[in-house]
Structure 1
Amino acid sequence: MRPINPNTRQPGPARRPALRMLFFAFGRTALLVAGLLCGLAASGQSINRPRVNSLLAELPKSRPDDHRIAILLELGRFHLYKPGESKADLDSSRTYFRRARQLSDSLGLRTRRHETESLLIAADLEGGQRASGRARFADLIRRCQRSGDREGEAIARVRFAVWLRNYAPDSAQVIGHFRRAAALYQSLHKPADEIHALKDIAVTHFYEGKLALAETELLAVLKRYKAIGYPNVHYTYNLLSSICRVKGDLNGGLKYALLCIDSMHKTADTASAAAFYGDLAQVYEAAGNHPQRMEWVRKSYAAWHRERLPNFALYHAAGIIAKDLIARRRPTEALRFIQQLIQDIPTNTIIQKGCVAQNLAYCYEALKNDRLAERSYLEALYWYEKNRLDFEGSLRVRQELGAFYLRQQRYKEAGDYLTKALTTLPQKEPLSALRDIHRMLFRVDSARGSYLSAIRHFQLYKALNDSLFNEAKSKQLAQLQIQYDTRTKEQNIALLTKQSELQQSALKRARTTQTAMMFGAVLLAGLLGVSYNRYRLKQRSNRLLEAKQREIDQKNQSLEQIVAEKEGLLVEKEWMLKEIHHRVKNNLQVITSLLNSQSDYLDDPVALAAIRESQSRVQTMALIHQRLYESDQLSKVDMAGYIGEVVDYLLETFSVQPAVRAEVDVAPVRLDVNLATPLGLIINETVTNSLKYAFPVCANGTRRPGVIRVTLLPLTGQTYRLVIRDDGVGLPEGFDPARSRTLGLTMIQGLSRQIGGQLRIFQESGVGIQLDFNPAKK
């Protein structure tokens, strides 16, 4: 089994199985299943559609020499490794390879001939002729040895080793071929190719889950690359970033990912930009930085979409964008987005079909179509398992199936899929994914009464979460981001300074020319004395102006330094506020867990109900701090998302669905946390009261159906109106809310007075409350 990076092109399993891993011959990016080139990857480059168009234009103009052979091989590899099962692509690749072989023979280029033969073997493997592949590679290596072609032997060994790594996983034999290739390149004094082979050894160890060994080897590779001045080190940075992310070192993952992007821009080698952007987004996902994650996911999606070629990374990025739309309560738009993408760029491989099925499952679940959602999740799992791969995507679909069944309260199915996701390849799972699985298994075991197992999962969840997000690591992540942003700004400033210097130079030249012309005119007119006097006056004025300019520049520098210091203090303050909200939220969750544990020792229904109501109040306050921690605004709460989460939590807690449903209509308003907290508690108390009394269980065991409507809309000026009403059985006869002394009503009335609101309790086809308040008067 091999790890797959969702941000790289994936070849098709039916036509491309023999070379599904061949692109690791010289390494392109971390956790690859497919790149585009073997040969060009040796120089740290890949080939994309713009590069192909350039080669096609260059080919007719090229001379019949080694350069033309290189062009033919590049074009052949592009068609050979293009995703999909098109026979036309395979035939095109053979045509280019045969032309390259014919030209190699005519020029007597032995190494080029052997290289072309290795690619023709690869094409036949792709066409399904796998039985003879091992023997043909071995024969090619022997012929290279007999003819003394050490470079051809090295190329063949590397390709043979990658093929073995994919279909006959014998690590000792694979690493032996890579080491032999490295030794051959060393004897040929080709240090870059030698280091590429050593990098492939590190990639092999990465596949085996030997993360520490792979990281050590890649650091040695990076050091050697820098020693020989090799420019395209961003591919090695990308591998190191992925290793750090998988093992839970998010600081290292972010550092190397940012170095990768920086190196890519410096060298202008942007052929793999889409993959690098996607990998950086994965680091931000693990770190919980949703805004930055979405910024880089959209960049990755745009870059893939421009190529107009179907590949796994394109659909994976589209799925992340769809989930972001769903989180913003736009599931219909998310579904249209995925359907339009499939129509524009249809899938052509098994794992692409699996990814699209995953994306559709997210949309159907958000649209409350649970039947189609379940079918799509199972379809995705079917395609991934049919592909005979077990990578991060297939593990994640099991995790998502478990989460889906957990939300459906189908705890047995949830536990089965989550356990499979946890135990299949834990050494290759990112720590962030393991953390989330343990958290869900804690909920599953709690619901099924397996309390000891639930406690173990909760302890593992807390340990993994603390490992990922302790205070020091969080601060380091923030510092790395600040350093990257600062470096980017400095580069922009340097560019502007250079442009300014050029402009100043042009102005000086123009000024000199003008002075010379004036001086000549003065000579001709015989006014040398007067001109000289004016010239001295002008020089004096210039010196005064230059002194003033220097004074202004010094003041500007002082101001820039003060601004930079204040920006640093502001960033640190925002980070500290986020940390405070995060800790408050964690403490409230601990209180919720303590209340839950206390309820296990109570038999009194009244006491149990009080415990549950206290839990919902604590959860209402915890949701506010959770939203503030995830938001860019640390003092304002998005009421639309917050109220929706409170209502969904209460419906799930009381287990009244599908008999009772909620309709929420909230204006897009952000309120101060001091106002959002009492409003949340008022909503909690009112909805809880409706769920307890408005929809009783009938004699036949079924619950009276109904709807709870929650609206928060503006009236006039700065006044808002909150209305919560149900269509239940109404108030008992003779009940007077004004004289009631129940805790819930007392809290509602007290909180309404606290925010300066006007409260009205009414009974119209059920019971409701109306609260008018002005945020400006709070």
Structure 2
Amino acid sequence: MIYSGNLILRLFFFGCFSLQGYGQIYDATRQDPYQKIFVETDDFDDSYLEQLLETLPLVKEDSIHFEILNDLAYYWHTRNLVKALEYTEMGLELTARDSNMLWNGHFQITRGAILLRQEKLDAAEGVLLEAEQKVDEKDLPLLYTQLGYVYERRGQLDRAADFAMKTLEIGEIYNNDWAKGMAYSDLSNLFWKQGKYEDGLKYGLQSLSYFEKREVVDLDYDFTLYIVGNNYLSLGQFDKALEYYLRSIEIGERYGFYNNLSDVYISLVELYAVLNNFSKAEEAGINAIKYAYLLDNAFMLMRSYLSVGELQTKNKNFDAAIENIKRSIEVATPRFGDGFFLGKTYKSLGLAYAGNEQYKEAYAAFSKYDSLNAVVFTAEADERIAQLETQFNVAQKENTIQLQQTRLSQQQSRQNLISLVAGLLFLTLTILLVSFFNNRKKNKLLSNQNREKEFLLKEIHHRVKNNLEIVSSLLALQTAQTSDPTVAHAMKESQNRVFSMSMIHRRLYQKEHLSSIEMKEYLKDLGDHILESFGEKDRIRIMYSMADLHLDVDTAVPIGLIVNELFTNSLKYAFPHSKNGEIYIRLSRETTGVLNLWVKDDGIGLKPQEVAKGTGFGKKLIKLLTRQLDGSMEITTNAGTQYLFRFKMHNSVKGESP
């Protein structure tokens, strides 16, 4: 199993969030208005950066403003390094102007992360060391993680491991699961680079367990899935590797983590090549290059071209392989700091040259690989990491001994409490039993009351429906006694308006839902009634292009009246001289909650200069109802008449739209 129980449920419902909407990241009415992204919530889609940008002008409090701006800058570095740096420089300028050194230090950490990924390792190290003097100790794990990456990129794996240890120590002091997870994640990656895949896998799975305790899916959890997949791949457990890679891709695509996506697709090239699935390997290589370009990251681009070149070598397409691996080396120089991957690139170039029988060039490439490999995998680095691993194991054993001593002490205390607990247990059980029977009586009473209320509510809707139908019948009688055709038409239209409302109340007491109306079925019944009342069922067809959609009564009634007016208008004016025709209707809801109503007929249309027919009451009614729903209306009159309404919904809307 990869995920903990609670996290499985949260991840399972990722797909559902796109239909149900996402939590609001900033709400000024809350006591804590900003829900910190990837700390307090991950309940959003890949538009969260746009949400943060829209939120910034609304925030008045400096600390929250800086926090949102820093999150905006930091998470833009997963998509576009140039834009991320723009927001970071803005934050540095604002915090310096306000003499807020704490937040200035936070922005420097973000700047260091960006410079690191722009291959400016010395500049990244400098700004991170400067930030170390400004931020609180509890904020150092993120800083030390970035410093560890700097030394890892330089090939100084022992120094990188030192910073992982520092991160773990602070995580233990503050009981920070993210820091502990990050430390083990970095160690997993370092052991993988050293070829110690069993240790790498052990630390990677330990890292995931800490991340999953937080129950928040973030950038580093996503990256660790990729690291664990790499260790499984190197151990030859290909199914497990693919499982972790695909999960990492799912998270990366959900939140727009282009850096992680490029990483995973690079590894997938190797995995699919090993499985001889070359078409998928080529597709993965294309995706790796795509995300590297989107991120504008030379490190990712270099490794992407390398993965494609290695695939072509395996396919014995040596000329293309040499070209792509050379391109990888061109991207990597002159300021590329990662001796590990650069050495790997020259090794792959040597293999491609050898396969192409260019042995002189192959020898030169292998010589370059040997020199780079000697710098990265030094005896001192290997010894230091071995020492650190021993420290980790010793620390874990000491923690286990201390934990056992604590448990013994607690056990003695528990024994002293057993007698008291045993004495209270019977009393407690007696009280619970009495409470249980009392609650059963209360629940039964509440159930009866709920049934009575439901019955009364249905009865109210039934009586309202009956009253409206009486009004409709009275209008029908009055219409039959009126000789003036204009008045008769007006009376019939009023009768249909009243009937459209009565249909809603009929549905409310006949269906299970007492507070919402299923609009597709309702509009079909309304359309059939209007066609029948005008005697046009054989000549006019109404086409409904919509999925099931539930709306509350306050929304359904105005929309029903609007549709009634539009249907009536089309039947009266759009199809003269007994012309056959069709009316089309679609009602849908956007993910933002906006309702779209579209009604069109294929009748004769209305010329711009043509004077509107009738009394104009229907047009006024439509405008009033549109304003009531906080909506807008657009009319198109060539090739028939088309109405498009957009309503900003403030009440709850249930169901799905197409």
TM-score scaled to structure 1, two decimals? 0.42
TM-score scaled to structure 2, two decimals? 0.49
